[in-house]
Amino acid sequence: MPSSSLQMKVVLGYYAISAILVCLSLFTLVDLRMMEKRVEEGNQISGLLNNVLEMRRYEKNWLLYRQNEDVEQILDYATLLQQVLAIPTIAVLAGPQQIQHTQDLLSNYQNLVDKEIHSLKEPHTTEQLENRLRALGKALVTSAEEIATHERLSIRIALEKHRTLLFLAVIAVLIGITLLGRILSHMVVTPLKQLEESMNAIASGNLSTPHISSRDREIRSLSEAFNRMLQELALRHKMLLRSEKLAAMGTLLSGVAHELNNPLSNIFTSCQILQEELQESENSFHVEMLNQIDLQVQRARNIVRSLLDFARERPFLQEAVPLAELLRDVIRFNKGNIPPRIVVHNHIPPELKLLGDRQRLQQLFLNLLSNAIDAIPAAGAIHFRSLLPPDPTLHPDDLLRSSCQRLRDRPWCEIRVDDNGSGIAPAILERIFDPFFTTKPPGKGSGLGLAVVFEIIEEHQGAILAESTPGEGTSLRIALPLATPWPPDRITH
């Protein structure tokens, strides 16, 4: 199916309307020009009648005063009338027979004046000659009036015809423009109506993808964008359901932790009593077993406490958080998800303490660890390191330092999470912190991990910067506030 453009159809519609209007204007101009020509020809007919009347006026003057000058004027007008009658357009307008009849009358009148009146030596004439002259003159006037009347009637008919044709042309133009508008409206409105119906269906809960039949590029683009919006909406719906499941799981986890805490407390108390009773016993094996039970119970209680901290919803609370200990808990929680081929190194010194919310920081580094594990396709290593901010004058172009100006007056450190995974392409590196953006296949990732990381860092007034080389690995540089300044001897420039 060849692709077309709605814009081109609209433009062609405007061109068609313009062409119709131009044709109507040309038709009107041509018709008006023809009418102008007919009016000019009518003026010639009117001139013919006027010349005949002038000639008759000199005839009356001669009959009254008998002056030879009047006879000369009569002959001059007769000659002029012969020339006018010889014009081809006059013959076409008046008809050949009428022109021939007028020419015969004019010739007889001219011969009578020239041969019988102009040749008289005495200005006296007979009554019979005067009657003949008057009769021929009257016949000429009658014939000229008939020609003029015929011409006026012809002009009136032409005007009526012109008015009718112009009216029909305007009606035809209006019908053509209306039909063209209906066609364009059908081309545009029909697919938009389908979109409207699809939106109403979506509003009622039907998320099926609409199929709009149109060859127009704009409509197809709008339909594709609408379908993409539906796909994103369905994906967001799934993400919302997943978030609700996670929230429910957190509530369940909190309840399970509470339920586990009670028997663990009883076991711990019983173990303490047995240890006190067998403290002086010689059975060292039993004492060692009790010590192991006590150790494992304390470990289980720490795990339950950490689970409660992770699952409990509470407001943002800043405290001094030992980062090394926090990372050990995160690695221990995620131990079952770390493949044997991947080694996680914790290089954080034990005295480093961040100022922040423990639960949120725990979630922050848990997401970073999970993301680094997924980025390593084969054997590899993940390193957690801490660096003090060096002298700002050494690296003025450091994007991390320039993006965390709000930490300039507070003690802060840089934490690096390095992996030797597949890396990130430069084209998508700046989008990895966008919500729901993921390069993983469907069902393998929600695109929320690094978005949550960015949000938590923003809550702590920090900054994050991603550096990556495809095929070599990724380094995430994080700036977070310190609970206490570093000792001066630990700062390296």
CATH of the domain at 137: 1.20.120
Between CA 58 and CA 75 the distance in angstroms is: 10
Number of domains making up the chain: 3
Of 314, 305, 411, 395, which Cα lies nearest the Cα of 354?
411
Backbone φ and ψ for 461, nearest 5 degrees, come out as 60, 30
Between CA 281 and CA 274 the distance in angstroms is: 11
Let me know if residue 204 belongs to a domain: no
Residues 6+ apart with CB under 8 A from 82: 103, 106, 107, 110
Residues 6+ apart with CB under 8 A from 475: 416, 417, 418, 466, 467, 468
Strands 342-346 and 473-481: unpaired
Looking at the structure, tell me whether residues 303 and 330 fall in a common domain.
no
Let me know if residue 443 belongs to a domain: yes
Between CA 274 and CA 428 the distance in angstroms is: 61
Of 14, 366, 325, 20, which Cα lies nearest the Cα of 171?
20
Q: What is the pTM of this model?
A: 0.42
- 66: region left, alpha or beta (phi > 0 left; psi from -120 to 50 alpha): left
Of 55, 85, 49, which Cα lies nearest the Cα of 72?
55
Is the Cβ–Cβ distance between 35 and 162 less than 8 Å?
Answer: yes
Is the Cβ–Cβ distance between 147 and 49 less than 8 Å?
Answer: yes
Let me know if residue 151 belongs to a domain: yes
Let me know if residue 207 belongs to a domain: no
Between CA 457 and CA 478 the distance in angstroms is: 8
Looking at the structure, tell me whether residues 41 and 117 fall in a common domain.
yes
Backbone φ and ψ for 379, nearest 5 degrees, come out as -65, 145
3-state SS assignment for residue 260: helix
Exposure string (b/e) for 77-103, b if CB count within 10 Å is 16 or more? Answer: bbeebeebbeeeebbebbeeebbebbb
Looking at the structure, tell me whether residues 338 and 480 fall in a common domain.
yes
Between CA 10 and CA 181 the distance in angstroms is: 9
3-state SS assignment for residue 412: strand
Looking at the structure, tell me whether residues 345 and 232 fall in a common domain.
no
* Residues composing the chain: 493
Of 318, 386, 404, which Cα lies nearest the Cα of 356?
318
Looking at the structure, tell me whether residues 180 and 220 fall in a common domain.
no
Looking at the structure, tell me whether residues 306 and 348 fall in a common domain.
no
Among residues 269, 292, 313, the one where a domain terminates is: 313
Structure tokens at 457: 């860092």
Let me know if residue 209 belongs to a domain: no
Let me know if residue 205 belongs to a domain: no
pLDDT tens track, the chain, 493 positions: 445 666 676 777 777 778 877 887 887 788 778 777 777 777 777 777 888 888 888 888 888 888 788 888 888 888 888 888 887 777 777 778 888 888 888 888 888 888 877 666 555 557 788 888 888 888 888 888 888 888 778 778 877 887 888 788 888 888 887 887 777 777 777 777 777 777 777 677 666 666 666 666 766 777 777 777 777 777 666 666 655 655 655 666 666 666 676 777 777 777 777 767 666 655 666 667 777 777 777 667 666 665 665 555 567 778 899 999 999 988 887 777 788 888 899 999 988 999 988 888 888 888 888 888 888 887 888 999 988 765 444 344 455 655 555 566 678 888 999 988 888 877 777 777 776 666 665 545 555 667 778 888 888 888 888 888 888 888 888 888 888 775 555 544 3
Looking at the structure, tell me whether residues 415 and 276 fall in a common domain.
no
Strands 380-387 and 353-356: unpaired
Let me know if residue 198 belongs to a domain: no
Between CA 345 and CA 417 the distance in angstroms is: 10
Q: Write the DSSP symbol of residue 278.
A: T
Looking at the structure, tell me whether residues 225 and 174 fall in a common domain.
no
Q: In CATH, what number is assigned to the domain containing residue 292?
A: 1.10.287
Let me know if residue 15 belongs to a domain: yes
Looking at the structure, tell me whether residues 273 and 355 fall in a common domain.
no
Looking at the structure, tell me whether residues 228 and 157 fall in a common domain.
no
Among residues 313, 337, 368, the one where a domain terminates is: 313
Structure tokens at 191: 């697919």
Q: Residue 271 is part of which domain span? A: 216-313
Between CA 386 and CA 416 the distance in angstroms is: 6
pLDDT value of residue 440 = 63
Among residues 259, 294, 313, the one where a domain terminates is: 313
Of 91, 92, 109, 88, which Cα lies nearest the Cα of 100?
91
Between CA 272 and CA 35 the distance in angstroms is: 125
For 458, other C-beta atoms within 10 Å of its C-beta total 11
Between CA 480 and CA 470 the distance in angstroms is: 27
3-state SS assignment for residue 310: helix
pLDDT value of residue 322 = 92
Between CA 324 and CA 207 the distance in angstroms is: 48
Q: In CATH, what number is assigned to the domain containing residue 393?
A: 3.30.565.10
Looking at the structure, tell me whether residues 244 and 102 fall in a common domain.
no
Looking at the structure, tell me whether residues 279 and 341 fall in a common domain.
no
Residue appearing with tokens 């003159």: 137
Between CA 350 and CA 326 the distance in angstroms is: 10
pLDDT value of residue 171 = 87
